Amino acid sequence: MKKNAQPITGCGEGEIAAYAFLCGDPGRIPKVSAQWDDFEEVCRVREYVIHTGTKNGVRLSAASTGIGGPSTAIVLEEMAKLGAQTFIRIGNSGALADKVDFGDYVISTASVRDEGTSKSYIGADYPAAADFAVTEALVNAARQAGATFHTGITWSVDGFYSRNKVLGQDGGLIPMSFKGLDEDRKGRMVLDYKAAGVLNVEMESSTLFTLAGIYGLRAGCICTVSDRTPWPGPGADALTLDKNIDGAITIALNALLALA
């Protein structure tokens, strides 16, 4: 019987490191741990795969979160209860700002809390801000790698289809939801957040930042840009999930080692 075994992941004492990576896709965890000196798989259940090992003498964990805030909050809660203190999310995102291109990286300084999970913890006025030291480490690692990156605000959402739009032939925004559901008034939110200088769109960072803030943990986020919001329309290369993800993993690893 594991000591302090967690109800969802089943992880127990000694299986989670203080320094941790979070990725949405379970299939991405082996790509993260492949750069380490050694590792073992300590969890494989539902959307969660967790590897724990070492790199240059530093103990690390990498966990998949699945898609969105609820599953992200669960794995963060359980890892924090087992000793994780510093988190870096490595993910995909859609570009919103014109200056952000496919394959670029976005290092989030804060996130728009357009999701429900973090609001189940604390009111909407509480900011979803990245930790300064983690963000600085990511920026330094990206510079050393010669990567093309941007720093700024990320739009974090719950609804992949309800928030994304397709650019129509007439330049208008077409809903992606089934039967054309358009809750946000013909893409008004896309246009408003773009005008406000938001860089990219994804689904986990605001939950990560909010929970880290209220629990006294450290968190940062680097995302590769795999698509654009609104999507350019039929026939376009709208989604390239793994474009430059290996570079993002290396940047995050170097940042976390520097923090350690």
The answer to whether residue 12 is domain-embedded is no
The answer to whether residue 149 is domain-embedded is yes
Q: What is the dihedral of CA 151, 153, 158, 160, to 10 degrees?
A: -60
The answer to whether residue 197 is domain-embedded is yes
Which residues form the domain of 203?
19-259
pTM: 0.94
How many folded domains does the chain comprise?
1
111: which 2 tokens? 């996130």
**pLDDT at residue number 27:** 94
H or E element, residue 75: helix 69-81
The answer to whether residue 108 is domain-embedded is yes
The answer to whether residue 5 is domain-embedded is no
pLDDT digit string (tens) for 52-84?
999 999 999 999 999 999 999 999 999 999 999
The answer to whether residue 11 is domain-embedded is no
Domain containing residue 214: CATH number: 3.40.50.1580
Q: Are strands 58-64 and 19-23 parallel, antiparallel or unpaired?
A: parallel
**pLDDT at residue number 229:** 84
**Please, how many CA atoms are within 13 Å of residue 212, restricted to the half-sphere of its CB?**
28
